[in-house]
Amino acid sequence: MKGSKSKNVLPGFGLSMGFTIFYLCLIVLIPLAGVFIKTAGLSWSEFWNAVANPRVLASYRVSFLTALFAAAVNVVFGLLVAWVLVRYRFPGKKIVDSLVDLPFALPTAVAGVALTAIYAPNGWIGQYAERLGLSIAFTPLGITIALMFIGLPFVVRTVQPVLQDLEKEVEEAAVMLGAYRFRTFRSVILPELVPALLTGFALAFARGIGEYGSVVFISGNMPMRTEIAPLLIMTKLEQYDYMGATAIALVMLVVSFLMLLLINYLQWRANRHTTTS
């Protein structure tokens, strides 16, 4: 009897790869190439004046630093949330698990209005912070909180499946050999989680750099202080300065790409170390 030949659900490799390349070109590569082509119409002096004036540099600093701090905080608390959801059973666990995905479903403008109402000087939390001399809304701290809100699910959903797949026998063996809880976590669990944590960090950081809706309200949009780069791009477009807008976007694209390459390299190193150890 002839063996039955298994059939793939999708078409063959050539056709599938062709559709994949076509889709990526249409959705990703062509729009990104348009940024380079549009910016190429500027001379070097015009490009430099567009991307290196003090207001633009200040917006870069606000966007990248707040996204960096928000992603770093989310790595810590995202790991904690994922740990609780995986390792413990408690009433309302499914509700807590679904709340993690709320920033994905909630329109960013709604999140921005809600956060501003809460952390404004007369808001529920902001009024008490003001009494302590701490301003949240309309400061870089408020921007960081907004980016923490929209970036947390990336870390939780990246780390959660890795925690679920970890073998508890290894942890139990470490405890039986006399390792304390912190040492077990540091030496046994954390090395397995580092690649996932770096991936979650990269995703949260990338989302934070380009975030607009949830930040534009709580930032206050003060030039040289709380103005983010995406807002400055929108301002340039409203002024019909398309060359200036694409120049700023090009710098953000290149810097983001380089930082993501660095994070992916660190993730590759972590995966290689975990595999060889």
- pLDDT, one tens digit per residue, over 159-208 is 999 888 876 666 666 555 555 666 667 777 788 888 889 889 988 998 99
Cβ neighbours, 10 Å, residue 143: 30
Per-residue model confidence as pLDDT tens digits over 136-149: 999 999 999 999 99
List, in sequence order, every beta strand (DSSP E) within the chain: none
Query: What percentage of the chain carries pLDDT values higher than 70?
Result: 87
Q: Answer for the pair 136, 119: CB distance below 8 angstroms, yes or no.
A: yes
Please tell me the distance from the alpha carbon of residue 5 to that of residue 259, in angstroms, as a whole number. Answer: 46
How many CA within 13 A on the CB side of residue 260? Answer: 15
Is the pLDDT at 1 greater than 80, yes or no? no
Q: List pLDDT tens digits, range 223-241.
A: 899 999 999 999 998 898 8
* Local confidence band at 12 (pLDDT 50, 70, 90 cut-offs): confident
Q: What is the mean pLDDT of the chain?
A: 85
Distance between CA 52 and CA 257 in Å, rounded? 19
Q: Which of 217, 232, 266, 214 is nearest to 75 (CA)?
A: 266
Quick check: 62 and 227 in contact, CB under 8 A? yes
pLDDT at residue 153 tops 70? yes
Q: Which helix (H) or strand (E) holds 163?
A: helix 140-165
**Max intra-chain CA distance, the chain:** 84
Question: Residue 63 pLDDT > 90, yes or no?
Answer: yes
Q: Please determine, for residue 3, whether its predicted confidence score (pLDDT) is greater than 50.
A: no
CA distance 129 to 231: 27
pLDDT of residue 220: 87
CA nearest neighbour of 258 among 211, 205, 193, 197: 205
Residue % of the chain over a pLDDT of 90: 38
